[in-house]
Amino acid sequence: MSDEVKSLQIIILFLIISPERGERGSIKVAALTLKSDYKMTIRDALNSALDEEMSADHSVFLMGEEVGEYQGAYKVSKGLLQKYGPDRVVDTPITEAGFTGIGVGAAYYGLKPIVEFMTFNFAMQAMDQIINSSAKTNYMSAGNINVPIVFRGPNGAAAGVGAQHSQCYAAWYGAIPGLKVLSPYSSEDARGLLKAAIRDPDPVVFLENELLYGESFPVSAEVLDSSFSLPIGKAKIEKEGKDVSIAAFSKMVGFSLQAAEILAKDGIDAEVINLRSIRPLDRSTINASVRKTNRLVTVEEGFPQHGVGAEICASVVEDSFGYLDAPVERIAGADVPMPYAANLERMALPQIEDIVRAAKRACYRSVPMSAAA
């Protein structure tokens, strides 16, 4: 946990327990000021969540490549080895299949492993352990064996790392019964969802984003409380609107919010949905939004075919087809392996202007692609 987070928690704690009744009014004002002004990086949000859950539950431990001595490839586990020792912060060899299997076996026996992958691209080496040994065991044991394990690490494209290190696995894992799949956008998401994942009795795939680790987001005093967590399977309306719904997750939520600002200048009031949870998917929030706006744009970095956006489209067509005033627009990565060249990489990934154009098409404020082709 960073020194800034510790300091803020100490200040808030002092304000709450101060015995001076006559100062309560000013105390509350001071606490609210801290609440609205404080920001935390995704990296610190994840680190503090790991620290607090390891402190609260001695069955929780972290394992993976470079999580200990090096303090994590992205410094998410900074300080944890020094605090909890090598028995609970375990540096592993470069063998995803091996250490993931060890983690699943430990979960069978009641421990709560957090398996860190340096990137989820490397987790492909451990697919058998994640899907066959982890996701299916509770069902195959008739509910007698829980597998309380978290698989976490960066997912999706970074920058200039080529086709083999740039894939989004949200749709891959989202297709598997027995897994819960989470993908945070903000520091509140990262902290609250990771705590929920660690406390959950079932296997959770936790998809972070490498380019967001250093991004700072406002956090409230409630978010900083050690008991804080977010419900799995519940989306968040990041911005309310009435003209078009934009559903996204991870980094694409930020792009969608920026697109919404641009659309507002043209009189289009976009509603932005932060999915947070890929499986279970919050179909009720998505459909309620579409029934209000009558239009939908889905945004994801992954491939378009069989993607998260495709599943959302199917859900809306099944449950809210009569409310649609325009075809659903899907924005996704290009249907090609990720190029290495920076200019081609940008073309292969969704950009803010792509979301703006899609929303305008949905609102009949621009020429449809089919007419322009």
Q: What are phi and psi of 160, to 5 degrees?
A: 70, 35
Q: How far, CA to CA in Å, does 293 sit from each of 129, 236, 252, 325?
A: 42, 16, 20, 9
Tokens of 164: 């083999």
The answer to whether 256 and 246 have CB atoms below 8 angstroms apart is yes
Tokens of 244: 């078009």
Q: How far, CA to CA in Å, does 240 sit from each of 270, 292, 319, 332?
A: 7, 10, 21, 23
Nearest-Å Rg of the Cα atoms of the chain is 21
What is the dihedral sign for C-alpha 197, 202, 208, 213?
positive
* Residues annotated catalytic, as ranges: 96, 165
Q: How far, CA to CA in Å, does 62 sit from each of 34, 124, 127, 201?
A: 32, 20, 19, 16
